[in-house]
Amino acid sequence: MRIVNANEIGRAGVEKFLTKKSFDEVELSPKVREANKKIFGEDLSAIEIVRRIVSDVRKFGDAAVIEYTKKIDGVALKNFSVELEDFEIDSEIFSSLKVAAENIRRFHVEQLPKSWITHRGENSLLGQAVVPLERVGVYVPGGTAAYPSSVLMNIIPAKVAGVREVIMCTPNANKTVLAAAKLAGVDKIFKIGGAQAIAAMAFGTEQIPRVNKIVGPGNIFVTLAKKEVYGHCDIDMLAGPSEILIVADENANPIFAAADLLSQAEHDPLACSILITTSQPLAEKISSEVSAQLENLPRKEIAAAAIERNGLIVVAESLDAAIDFANFSAPEHLELLVSEPFSLLPKIKNAGAIFLGAYSPEPLGDYLAGPNHVLPTGGTAKFFSVLNVETFLKRTSLISYTRKDLLAAAADIIRLAEAEGLAAHAEAIRKREEGL
């Protein structure tokens, strides 16, 4: 892995390395562009392709979904739905899925907010009603890896929140993904993917019901489609490639650190694996260890591409400087491989999830611990939160004034309304003054 020293290149130099491209700045590979040219008859950008698909699905419904699924995936669809049968999978895998599901459910139950009402004046009431969304769509990718864990992470919080109906769209789902969906409580499954699936859930088609919100990971086309339909429905976030940032002191285990860096690199050639340490010798050991462990990975080609493109080790002058760089990066996953991780916790401002200590590696959060693994990427942890129960809830304000309390407030309301030039607002209050 590439090693840079913060003292030699300065803060600006380190920040340049840590600045990640936004999801919409990702360039299509020549191979993908050539394939798209054959499908669409011209060399289109990712957003041009997505806008065409979304527009057609909105206008033509199922017919457009069928057309694009055949063009892009080579699959001829008729009936989109998948029967919710008992999917036979390995019993030990199913047992592990049940453990994960229970941990995820238990964690998210703790997040449930409550509706509330408080008194204002003489028997007037103000409050907030917390209401679940009625229908949510979950997208599950069908690419180079299967993600039953993402199925659990997206569906279970929605069900805990009280969402009446959860539908799932996924192309070529294997039985483990389908079993996880049923275990999580999915209501309907549809065998479509890509931008056409996002558009179908956002606008509704003859076979696919319109949803209030779309959640779940996907490639650049799925992410751009979510951005395109936002406003017609809500979305969870605009996620980019997976990423990990590790802060390590001189006592960190280089074998653990290298393994954790590779755990994200194997996701995607665009994945980002960064380590910041106070020790030059440790940096060199970790770099060597990454190379050694890489040789034994089944997804070696993908991980090697990610390490080559976005792998980085930064040697910082102190742990405070390392945390400062970590806050600037705002990583999806932040590991603290230091002797006293909890002492650093108050200093961390920007991270999707924080893993404290050598025995809390990132895959623990991915699969079993219970907190959600759908996290903000690309530096958006500076303003986005992890997917949670509140993702599937909306708040409605409650206002109930008595006659006496409205009269007491009338002059202030009229004054403010007239200051804004909204005479009808003021009159709505005056009419009640006159009538009362």
Cα separation, 341 vs 331, in Å, equals 17
Q: How many CB atoms lie within 10 A of CB 149?
A: 20
Q: Which of 2, 10, 8, 1 is nearest to 325 (CA)?
A: 10
Instruction: Pinpoint the alpha helices (H) of 295-402.
Output: 300-310, 319-329, 341-344, 362-367
Q: How far apart are CA 329 and CA 275, in angstroms?
A: 11
Q: Which amino acid is at 207?
A: Q
Catalytic residue among 243, 266, 332, 362: 332
Active site residue 332: yes
Assess whether 333 carries a catalytic annotation.
yes
| Cα separation, 64 vs 194, whole angstroms | 12
The tokens describing 153, both together, are 């992470």
Q: Looking at this protein, which amino acid is placed at residue 431?
A: K
Q: Helix (H, G, I), strand (E, B), or coil: what is residue 323? A: helix
Q: Which residues touch 63 (CB under 8 Å, ≥6 apart)?
A: none
Q: Are 316 and 278 spatial neighbours (Cβ–Cβ below 8 Å)?
A: yes
Whole-number Å distance between alpha carbons of 42 and 37: 5
Interacting residues of 49 by C-beta distance below 8 A, sequence separation 6+: 36, 40, 195, 221
- Residue 61 in contact with residue 206, Cβ under 8 Å? yes
Q: Which residues pair with 395 in a beta bridge?
A: 130
Using CA atoms in the order 7, 13, 18, 20, what is the torsion angle rounded to 10 degrees? Answer: 180
Catalytic residue selected from 108, 243, 266, 333: 333
Is the separation of the CB atoms in 190 and 161 below 8 Å?
Answer: no
Could you list the active site residues? 332-333
